[in-house]
């Protein structure tokens, strides 16, 4: 949690807790009441989660108001884990539990024999401790090697060796779910959980009792159970047993940002951008849009495996590399202005290809597909911002034999000469600094090329435009 943590209440014994007027609530009721409080005050439920206000958030709200366990379905990079972890903000900041028991237990209603014995022995002097809401969350990535002991528990051979009987509840060593009693437990990639482990979760989700090594232990565990899954795995027959799917009250589908501006908001929130005091970073809006547009085009491309998805992390990585290459140019050319250009897009290939899965596996096809997507994205942004009819003086000059060479390592000041050489270009330039002018020149020339109004020959980081 990023909120500042306040100190816990002062009650240290069961008697002091009772005197304070404390009343216990089931964890789902606790979450529901805190949600209602936030809604009544119009507080944001999931700060930092963008693009879900009209889709996913209302579904989560309904599920919580209905006290339902939830499974989130979505491809990678759709903020499933962030949402799950942020649900801890709906827990009370501090919760009293018995001090000295293996699992967190409500001092007013202990559920294990050890907890009941503790209260019976000490009465109102029973010690309690306060746990912060961050300690009331645990998650487990589903892998084939997970056992029932990890999730639910197992007989502890040391306790048996000490003389206890197998049928004695005190011989048990509790797993992750019981240890999250009065809290939230999440399973990531649920379909990857072995079927026999999935069976072990059935009673936890419905009857809330546990069966270990053939003997039944009645533990009314109070836990909010969440899960995440990829839709393809979740709906594939054999990946998740039907009774377990039926136990989850709400199945909520996440999605990628629907609009370019939402994608950009996420990118600017998450990107790790170098900041040097002697350099000024200025990223033109159209360059930001191109980065987001590349990802959106990839999500629609038949050449990209859509079952695995194209994460927002692709936009974030591409944006970081775009600015990094502009920084590299500024450092090499000793320029104080850091402005990404169209010629920097070539360096996004490594970051982009590391974030997608291609359908075509032939040698060399990946670069062709990447270039096709980059060009389509650049053209889409250019067409939104410029009318080709306004570019007639520029294209006419190239038709008359004008040739211009640009490049990612060309000094920004050299572009003033290019602007002077191209009739009509100065009227189209809105930028005011050398770096932003250079970027806008490249954007206009590339846009005209992609609209088949200019020819382009590119080699070794330089490009020549002609009529």
Question: What would the pLDDT profile of 233-250 be if each residue is shown by its tens digit?
Answer: 665 545 777 788 788 889
For residue 143, pLDDT over 90 is answered with no
8 A C-beta contact, residue 183 and residue 138:
yes
For residue 158, pLDDT over 80 is answered with no
- How confident is residue 175, by pLDDT bands cut at 50, 70 and 90? confident
Give the start-to-end residue ranges of the domains of the chain: 14-253, 260-466
8 A C-beta contact, residue 226 and residue 249:
no
Taking the C-alpha atoms of 435, 441, 442 and 446 in order, what is their torsion angle to the nearest 10 degrees?
A: 160
At 359 the pLDDT is 86
For residue 8, pLDDT over 60 is answered with yes
Q: What is the mean pLDDT of residues 353-369?
A: 85
pTM for the structure as a whole: 0.86
At 267 the pLDDT is 96
Q: What percent of the chain has pLDDT over 70?
A: 90
Number of neighbouring beta carbons within 10 Å of residue 354: 10
- How confident is residue 452, by pLDDT bands cut at 50, 70 and 90? very high
Task: Supply angle C-alpha 348, 311, 283, rounded to 5.
Answer: 45
φ/ψ (deg, to 5) at 132: -80, 155
At 220 the pLDDT is 83
Number of neighbouring beta carbons within 10 Å of residue 74: 21
* Class of the domain covering 14-253: alpha beta
For residue 364, pLDDT over 70 is answered with yes
- How confident is residue 1, by pLDDT bands cut at 50, 70 and 90? very low
> Which residues does residue 223 pair with via DSSP β-bridges, in sequence order?
183
What secondary structure does DSSP assign to 235-280, as a single string? Answer: HSTTTS-HHHHHH-SEEEE----SSHHHHHHHHHHH------TT-E
What secondary structure does DSSP assign to 364-431, as a single string? Answer: THHHHHHHHHHHHHHHHHHHHH--GGGGHHHHHHHHTT-EEEEETTS-TTHHHHHHHHSTTHHHH---
At 298 the pLDDT is 96
Rounded distance between C-alpha atoms, residue 159 and residue 170, angstroms: 8
Rounded distance between C-alpha atoms, residue 69 and residue 87, angstroms: 12
Q: Could you read off the pLDDT of 68-84 as tens digits, one per residue?
A: 999 999 988 899 999 99
Q: Could you read off the pLDDT of 249-282 as tens digits, one per residue?
A: 899 999 999 999 999 999 999 999 988 889 999 9
Number of neighbouring beta carbons within 10 Å of residue 268: 13
């Amino acid at each position: 949690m990023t909120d500042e943590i306040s100190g816990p209440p002062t009650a240290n014994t069961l008697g002091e807790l009772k005197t304070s007027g404390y009343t216990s609530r089931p964890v789902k009721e606790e979450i529901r009441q805190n949600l209602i409080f936030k809604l009544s005050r119009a507080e944001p439920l999931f700060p930092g989660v963008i693009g879900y206000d009209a889709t996913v958030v209302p579904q989560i709200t309904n599920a919580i108001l209905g006290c339902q366990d939830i499974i989130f379905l979505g491809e990678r990079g759709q903020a499933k884990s962030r949402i799950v972890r942020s649900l801890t903000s709906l827990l009370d900041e501090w919760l009293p539990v018995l001090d000295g028991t293996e699992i967190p237990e409500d001092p007013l209603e202990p559920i294990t024999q050890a907890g009941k014995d503790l209260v019976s022995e000490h009465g109102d002097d029973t010690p309690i401790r306060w746990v912060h809401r961050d300690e009331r969350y645990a998650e487990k990535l589903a892998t084939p090697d997970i056992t029932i002991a990890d999730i639910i528990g197992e007989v502890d051979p040391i306790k048996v060796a000490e003389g206890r009987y197998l049928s004695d509840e005190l011989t048990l060593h509790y797993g992750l779910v019981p240890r999250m009693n009065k809290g939230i437990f999440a399973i990531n990639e649920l379909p990857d959980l072995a079927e026999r482990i999935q069976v072990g979760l059935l009673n936890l989700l419905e009857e809330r009792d546990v069966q270990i090594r053939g003997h039944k232990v009645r533990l009314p565990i109070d836990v909010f159970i969440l899960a995440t899954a990829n839709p393809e795995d979740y709906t594939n027959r054999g990946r998740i047993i039907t009774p377990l799917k039926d136990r989850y009250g709400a199945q909520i589908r996440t999605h990628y940002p629907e609009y370019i501006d939402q994608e950009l908001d996420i990118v600017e929130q998450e990107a790790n951008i170098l900041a040097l005091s002697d350099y000024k970073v200025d990223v033109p809006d159209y360059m930001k849009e191109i980065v987001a547009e590349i990802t959106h085009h990839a999500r629609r491309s038949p050449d990209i495996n859509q079952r695995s998805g194209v994460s927002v992390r692709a936009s974030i990585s591409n944006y970081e590399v775009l600015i990094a290459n502009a920084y590299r140019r500024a450092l090499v050319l000793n320029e104080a202005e850091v402005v990404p250009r169209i010629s920097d897009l070539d360096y996004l290939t490594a970051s982009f290809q590391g974030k997608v899965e291609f359908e075509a596996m032939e040698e060399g096809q990946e670069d062709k597909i990447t270039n096709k997507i980059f060009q389509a994205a650049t053209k889409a942004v250019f067409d939104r911002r410029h009318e080709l009819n306004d570019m007639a003086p520029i294209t006419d000059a190239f038709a008359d034999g004008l040739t211009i060479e640009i490049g990612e390592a060309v000094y920004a000041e050299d572009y003033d000469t290019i602007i002077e050489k191209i009739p009509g270009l100065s009227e189209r330039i809105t930028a005011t600094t050398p770096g932003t002018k250079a970027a806008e020149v490249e954007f206009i020339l590339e846009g005209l090329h992609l609209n088949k109004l200019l020819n382009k020959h590119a080699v070794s980081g330089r490009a020549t435009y002609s009529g």
